[in-house]
Chains A and B, each alone.
Chain A
Amino acid sequence: MLHLAWDALGNTLWAPFAEFGFMRRALVGCLALSLAAPPLGVFLMLRRMSLTADVLAHGILPGIAIGFLVAGLSVTAMSLGGLAAGLIVGVGAGAISRATGGREDAALAALYLVALALGVTLISTRAGSVELSHLLFGSVLGVDDTALFLMAGIASLTLLALAFAWRPLVLECFDPGFAAAVRARGGAWHMLFLVLVVLNVLAAFQALGTLMAVGLMMLPAVAARYWGRSVGGLAYAAAGIAMFSSVVGLLLSYHYDLPSGPAIVLVAGGIWVLSVLAGPVDGLFTRLFHRPHLSG
């Protein structure tokens, strides 16, 4: 009886990855993404730049489209195009932010709508709806070796860069005025950070497509807000939530024949809802259930 249950569990949780190479590649790619992108999402959230990630994710589409027009569905060409477009949009968004003194949301929304429309138009001149949907929504299960190396490489680079730049990033995020007063070169660190975000959006694009790319970056970060009280704690919690979402999302997509990218993002979204309700830091339940106050 017990071994039957054990077998069923193994078949559900383990067999899909053991039997199918595409599932293993999807898993490794998503786990790499889950380690690197969510900590960036935490910084974006703390800087009130959650929208910027979306702008960058849509902003890479015209570049990817040009790469696609030149070389077809080639990871290298599309990534180079996307990188160039992402950097242009990133610098543009930064300039808009400075010019408007932080009230940039309207201009950013305009920017990403234009980028999305331009990208879809460019792709549609040459491609059918299958390729278009591939580019918009990604295909986790179609991650090939080139894309996998790109994702793993970007994740490794991001983790190294975060370890290197942690202190200035936290300072620039918390108290930019003080950072300027002690000449901490906050602007330069912020640019490095934006480049990391563009790279991770590119990595996420391989698996999740341009519309879902920030799903694994922002949703775990926003959910982590209810689990941690320090920047480091938030980053660990966000990475953990992202990894869990990746595994569960892939399994759900396998067993129930769901599109894998949206499945992963939906699991992350479910954890976010759960966190809002039951998270230990400012969660709704902790406010509702009256606990005796401390004595001092």
Chain B
Amino acid sequence: MSRGEGILLTDLTLTHGRRPAVHHISGRFAPGSLTAIVGPNGAGKSTLLRAIAGLHAAQEGQLTAPRHDIALLPQAAALDRAFPVSCLDVVLFGHWNRAGAFRALRPAEKQAARAALAAVGLEGFERRPVGSLSAGQFQRVLFARLLVQDAPVILLDEPFNAVDARTAADLLALVHRWHGEGRTILAVLHDLDLVRQQFPETLLLAREPIAWGATAEVLTAANRLKARMMAEAWDAEAEACDRSAA
């Protein structure tokens, strides 16, 4: 399933306006790795995921990623759940990369979408409008869409936020299944206990990369304190960064 060099960051800087969201980060997400991205709020975690998905241009440095093989799960709060669309329709959009805007969907593709709904525990929900779902059920639908997308690289932005424990456990099982299939998975998470138990690798980010590697070595008290200090330091008089490659 995995191919190529994985995702390679070379002295990458991402900005909102002139403010750095992610500052001079270098490293590599290996093919088939399962990495948690943790850090304080405003640390650039979501921005990094969006950049890897090709939705945020690099200000400086290089980002090498298999752009067409990436599935991104954005934060669920961004969606209008009152929209009149059925669960099956949402999952069917996962075929977009193969079916595009016009092609009629094949019976096998519809069957795959039904199977995906069943795999996330929502059998019989095909025709339910998404407006009638709980937050956890809606997140299951979005995971079913990821299943249908069948991408070798999967980016998850706070996938277990606002979902019940049971749903979180089921979806986590799915993440491990993807990991077992050799897919590369990056997940932005806040629950450090969960990360310690379930994620072999961790990137601790606070605009700057604080630590990146085996989870136990990254999530030390010293590193976490450093991350918090970095996040709270906000320099209103910041000058142009002198680390830029001239």
Q: Which residues of A contact B (CB under 8 A)?
A: 46, 164-165, 167-168, 170-171, 173-175, 177-178, 180-184, 189, 228-231, 233-234
Which residues of A have CB within 8 Å of B71?
A: 181
| Complex-state Cα separation, A168 to B83, whole angstroms | 15
Which residues of A have CB within 8 Å of B102?
A: 164, 167
Q: Are B74 and A178 in contact (CB under 8 A)?
A: yes
| Complex-state Cα separation, A167 to B100, whole angstroms | 9
| Complex-state Cα separation, A167 to B90, whole angstroms | 11
Which residues of B have CB within 8 Å of A230?
A: 84-86, 89, 129
Q: Are A171 and B86 in contact (CB under 8 A)?
A: no
Name the distance in Å between B165's Cβ and chain A's nearest Cβ: 23
Q: Are B84 and A228 in contact (CB under 8 A)?
A: yes
Say whether B236 faces chain A, with CB atoms less than 8 Å apart.
Answer: no
Q: Are B84 and A171 in contact (CB under 8 A)?
A: no
Q: Are A184 and B86 in contact (CB under 8 A)?
A: no
**Looking at A170, A233, A234, which has the most chain B CB atoms within 10 Å of its CB?**
A170
Which residues of B have CB within 8 Å of A184?
A: 96, 101
What are 10 A-to-B residue pairs whose CB atoms are below 8 Å?
A: A46-B83, A174-B79, A175-B90, A177-B72, A183-B54, A228-B84, A230-B84, A230-B89, A231-B85, A233-B84
Name the distance in Å between B124's Cβ and chain A's nearest Cβ: 11
| Complex-state Cα separation, A174 to B71, whole angstroms | 17
Q: Are B101 and A168 in contact (CB under 8 A)?
A: yes
Which residue on chain B has the smallest CB distance to residue A175? B79
> Given A171-B93, A180-B55, A181-B53, does the pair A234, B84 have CB atoms closer than 8 Å?
yes
Say whether B108 faces chain A, with CB atoms less than 8 Å apart.
Answer: no
| Complex-state Cα separation, A76 to B83, whole angstroms | 39
Q: Are B55 and A181 in contact (CB under 8 A)?
A: yes
| Complex-state Cα separation, A175 to B83, whole angstroms | 10
Q: Are A171 and B83 in contact (CB under 8 A)?
A: no
Listed from nearest, the 6 A-B pairs whose CB atoms lie closest are A182-B96, A168-B101, A181-B72, A177-B74, A174-B83, A229-B129
Contacts beyond the supplied A46-B83, A46-B84, A171-B93: 4 A-B pairs with Cβ under 8 Å:
A175-B93, A180-B55, A181-B55, A189-B101
Q: Which of B53, B70, B74, B96 contacts A171 (CB 8 A)?
A: B96
| Complex-state Cα separation, A183 to B129, whole angstroms | 25
| Complex-state Cα separation, A261 to B79, whole angstroms | 38
Say whether B80 faces chain A, with CB atoms less than 8 Å apart.
Answer: yes
Say whether B220 faces chain A, with CB atoms less than 8 Å apart.
Answer: no
Which residue on chain B has the smallest CB distance to residue A233? B84
| Complex-state Cα separation, A233 to B89, whole angstroms | 14
Name the distance in Å between B150's Cβ and chain A's nearest Cβ: 13
Name the distance in Å between A277's Cβ and chain B's nearest Cβ: 20
Say whether B97 faces chain A, with CB atoms less than 8 Å apart.
Answer: yes
Q: Are A167 and B83 in contact (CB under 8 A)?
A: no
| Complex-state Cα separation, A64 to B188, whole angstroms | 53
Name the distance in Å between B118's Cβ and chain A's nearest Cβ: 18
Q: Which of A165, A173, A182, A228 contacts B97 (CB 8 A)?
A: A182
| Complex-state Cα separation, A44 to B7, whole angstroms | 39
Name the distance in Å between B66's Cβ and chain A's nearest Cβ: 14
Which residues of B have CB within 8 Å of A181?
A: 53-55, 70-72, 74
Which residues of A have CB within 8 Å of B79?
A: 174-175, 177
B53-94 to A contact mask, C-beta < 8 Å, 1/0? 111000000000000001110100011100111100110010
| Complex-state Cα separation, A89 to B84, whole angstroms | 29
Which residues of A have CB within 8 Å of B55?
A: 177, 180-181
| Complex-state Cα separation, A229 to B53, whole angstroms | 32
